[in-house]
Chain A
């Protein structure tokens, strides 16, 4: 954990940060005894190597060469918030905010509340809903959107050339209410309340400097990011992420996920690009499709997850295999074929998506839900290439991209560093 630092609130600094400052100076000792272990774990984070402890008390180290929440074994739940700077917010505001967020995130991911004070006549520093909930491997990952590098904060010279709005892509009809954002906060945990709590509290801290742009909750992971994890299923009922890059594949991570010396912005090295896509699945239509057709759309058997060319889930698909009719066994427009690295000049991305639902379509009465796709990559061009390949995807009949955003996620921090340190210096 970090000890709360005394900030230097300037004019227009967030109220929230002053509260934090107060907590550090006076509040901690007063009634902290009754509130220690907000998340029902010791204040001193007992981190495990790789953060792969199974129990709810397990934490993932906040500090490290890369931000947590990228190759961290995918947690079960997601809260994803994008925020925009409010008009009039200054460079100093943004810098102070990133410092306050760093402090709060280090605490929350260690299983501690944002602040320990509880004065009867002050609003509690922490919103409190996660009190008693195990931290459940909470990670908080920060990203900067392209617009953050416009004229407002004097960051134009720090903009990575690869960070740009995505071009129009096939099969999308983007809802402006779910598109873009100056900043993003990805909170993942095995406990939904803990993930939600993190985004809520960061937004609260940011009040006056940033405001919510859009937010999404993911209720089930759809990817594995390590070899030891069981492959989950998406709302199509198929296993998802079988061929994802795994954390153990360090060379592939280096080649396809981590920003390296190729970037024009040294501050971003060891960081990664995050692309989020809200993908609606027309589940009612999908559910009416007969089994064999569903399997041909995906290219895998529904129950076992094995490719149509046989074997078990992890058998490598044989894209060249032909049936007795002379046609490819995995159809030419099967999803796994068009998304494969074999079909895309070797390109890979690290997927880390979640199933989501926003309730019911007010016009159609059908489910508004699907896949909240998140992927990390060395360069957004990787996703663009893959998405263009998927123009011919058989699955397009059943899905539609309705939200989109791209962010540059800075590298990890050392204790004492803050998000934004490297950006602003």
Chain B
């Protein structure tokens, strides 16, 4: 689940892809760094389709209103937006590069430059592109690296509007905390991947095998967020058959996994690991500028259990290493974190749903405990996944599906603020 086309559209906007990413990906991005008002055609009015408006300036669901077009011409001198002041609401940024060799991108940033809200990259002379956002009132900066003058002011006027959930302190707090959780998990992913790469650099295959699942667990916690950036997700977490089936594009965790376990070699792993780290750094930059909403949080929790149900139970995802248990645990942690953050809100809104989810989570934890071992297979704390029999996998699957089913009832609760 995701915020639907809306999220995808805006995910695309924020990474400045005017057309669908031609690179295939396993799953669809379900989270939006920014999000927009409901499409009229679907016939549903979900109040919570917007984003956090605090702290700081925000891009959010302003809903109705006219779309304003802002033209940005990339020149050796700079990237002056025309017009430089617009009313709050939907804005189309049209970016074109006629002949500026040294300037190839324009970004919309917060005035303090700390967050990228939208961008169009890779515009060599002769190319044009753009991105679309719904913007809250405030001061912003258009940034074009390489130009004589890099920073240009951009102002949005009018009265702030925000989705209704932003006025609910419990939901607003949950969203803020979730953003921190994603940032933290991504930072942990990087530090653990770095240790994994160091073991590879040191030629220590055994140690690399132990550190592999310890890094992956952090990715598996936040996977629905990482999937916003489809090509990055593919580069980090893509499997051979899905989505690429092209050796040159099979470069991430699972390629290294194949080298270590199936080919029993470190040859070639060093460069791949360096590339992996670089992609994770890029992910960190992106998640730091991402903004979330309760609907996306809730559907992301369901997604994590869907993910566990389809690719962990089958042993498909960690097919070379058989380390499915720790990454399964990562999915579960990511989902239960969402529930924990929404708990203050749900306690009043739907205590019985909260209780049901709690029971189902506990059931999975109890089942997982049966497979705990010390130190376990590759020091994972669990037995090797390939030793789990079909009948046992069905038990796990039933528990995961039961939790996912109850989690899927969250979205309507958090969207009716």
Contacts and interface: CB of A to CB of B under 8 A. Distances in A.
Interface in B236-265: 241-246
B126 interface: no
Interface string A323-359: 1111111111110001000000000000000000000
B1 A293 contact: yes
Contacts of B393: 363-364
B313 A333 contact: no
A297 B10 contact: no
Contacts of B310: 282, 285, 364
A332 B42 contact: no
Interface string A385-397: 0000001101111
Given A288-B302, A288-B306, A363-B393, A296 B42 contact: yes
Interface residues of B, number: 69
Interface in B70-93: 89-92
Interface string B1-38: 11111101110110000011111111110000000111
B336 interface: no
A331 B397 contact: no
Contact of B243 (A297, A309, A333, A396): A396
Interface stretch (B59-67, B176-184, B191-199, B376-384): B59-67
Contact of B38 (A170, A292, A363, A395): A292
B26 A296 contact: no
Interface residues of A, number: 51
B8 A332 contact: yes
Interface string A300-315: 0100001111100000
A172 B241 contact: yes
A391 B2 CA distance: 18
Nearest to B408: A288
A394 B8 contact: yes
The secondary-structure label for the interface of chain A is loop
B55 interface: no
29 contacts: A168-B245, A169-B245, A282-B306, A285-B310, A288-B1, A290-B299, A290-B411, A292-B42, A296-B4, A296-B39, A297-B5, A297-B28, A308-B41, A309-B41, A323-B40, A324-B66, A324-B89, A325-B37, A325-B67, A327-B5, A327-B6, A332-B20, A333-B28, A364-B397, A365-B401, A366-B309, A391-B22, A392-B20, A394-B5
Given A292-B44, A326-B67, A365-B398, 19 more contacts: A171-B26, A171-B243, A172-B245, A173-B242, A284-B306, A291-B42, A292-B43, A295-B42, A307-B41, A308-B5, A324-B63, A324-B89, A324-B90, A332-B19, A333-B8, A334-B5, A363-B313, A392-B20, A392-B23
Interface of B: 1-6, 8-10, 12-13, 19-28, 36-44, 46, 63-67, 89-92, 132, 134, 230, 241-246, 299, 302, 306, 309-310, 313-314, 316, 390, 393-394, 397-398, 401, 404-405, 407-408, 411-412
